[in-house]
Structure 1
């Protein structure tokens, strides 16, 4: 999942303070994907702690034309908000996805203000590979883009393979540079029941 692969960016008290009307905070898991009771105070696995993204944050198809999932956005003000994406080009053109931003923070680098990064196993570790190496012992594929075909998803741990297959079975390929339109929508209970937060 990318970026950041450790504790969700919105599961920090300082980042949540930038968002309005947030209820709860994104669920944080330990290295074995067990929820941590006090995730806000858990130290990130990228540092010396045991706080990571949960494997339940992987994307899930709902129908042939709709998926649910979680995302990174630039700006902590987006924490726990949900957005409906529509692909404008590429193999998934016309398909839609509803995502909840659980990694919302200010970054410098390639993530632009309007970018949306879908958290997907095997999608690349982005600028920080420490979490994946500490949680799973290695990374898969390129830092940006991740694995390059469906068969490479077989190399991931069993609990991550379904989220990796999503990119090839549902989205039909490498989605990293495809254009999307998106707008904020009410969060479906299916996502808030996983994350534990809403806005």
Structure 2
């Protein structure tokens, strides 16, 4: 597996400034406009999460675009939000978290269970599932945006953008081999969990805390908090 280079200075910049919380990791990718890209969810946030058109081109009016999860919508989840391995033990990516108050904040999570135990990931929250639980996902859990990771309650977004969903609504594809069924631009993000995390990632225990956002993430999202 090819890993991207990252400087020690960049890692050191992710300074934690909250106590660690516990929860579980999940995966999801519904292709819908990120919830944090609505004006009502941008509290104490600089910029706003990028929103793309059906061809993954950033929209100039992303905040005003209707979500592609509606029949008249043209705003979708950009394919640049896929998870990326940096080293054997560190990845970067984006996430869905409980409550709009986490929009554009970054968190460093460490797996304490599952096949990725001991590995770490820095994610930026660009999506939310409200202030409480959403099905099996509880308020303190983190859903890592992962192509082929399940569409959750929104089954129309990926059907609109790509013509189909992949795998089950909760959990997505069942194996790395199934990632070959995704569009080529999303396959790397799908393989991430089976090649780097070595499994489904769903319901694995994690510890996490808020950190300063690395520029590598904010340059993709266009926002910071």
Deviation at 1:8, TM superposition (A): 0.4
Tell me the C-alpha RMSD between the 2 structures: 1.2
Residue among 148, 164, 178 paired with 2:204:
178
2:123 matched to which residue of 1?
A: 99
Q: How does 1:1-199 map to 2 (within 5 A)?
A: 2=28, 4-16=30-42, 19-20=43-44, 22-47=45-70, 48-106=72-130, 109-110=134-135, 111-199=137-225
The more displaced of 53-62 and 98-107 is: 98-107
2:91 and 2:143 map into 1 onto residues whose CA distance is: 14
Deviation at 1:112, TM superposition (A): 1.6
Deviation at 1:4, TM superposition (A): 4.7
Aligned residues of 1:70 and 1:100 also touching (Cα < 8 A): yes
Aligned residues between the structures: 196
1:142 and 1:55 map into 2 onto residues whose CA distance is: 20
Deviation at 1:109, TM superposition (A): 2.8
Mark the runs of 5 or more structure 1 residues left unpaired by the alignment: none
Aligned residues of 2:37 and 2:62 also touching (Cα < 8 A): yes
Mark the runs of 5 or more structure 2 residues left unpaired by the alignment: 1-26
Greater relative contact order structure (CA < 8 Å, 6+ sep): 2
2:32 and 2:77 map into 1 onto residues whose CA distance is: 6
Tell me the alpha carbon deviations over residues 140-168 of structure 1, each in whole angstroms, 9 at most, x when there is no partner.
00100100111100000000000000011
Deviation at 1:3, TM superposition (A): 5.7
Aligned residues of 1:125 and 1:146 also touching (Cα < 8 A): yes
1:42 and 1:35 map into 2 onto residues whose CA distance is: 11
Distance change >3 Å, CA 124–CA 105, structure 1 → 2: closer
Deviation at 1:52, TM superposition (A): 0.4
The more displaced of 53-62 and 102-111 is: 102-111
1:15 and 1:3 map into 2 onto residues whose CA distance is: 20
Aligned residues of 2:28 and 2:171 also touching (Cα < 8 A): no
Deviation at 1:108, TM superposition (A): 5.1
1:27 and 1:96 map into 2 onto residues whose CA distance is: 25
Runs of 4+ off more than 4 Å:
none
Task: Report the 3-state secondary structure (helix = DSSP H, G, I; strand = E; otherwise coil) of the residue aligned with 1:62.
Answer: strand
TM-score by length of 2: 0.85
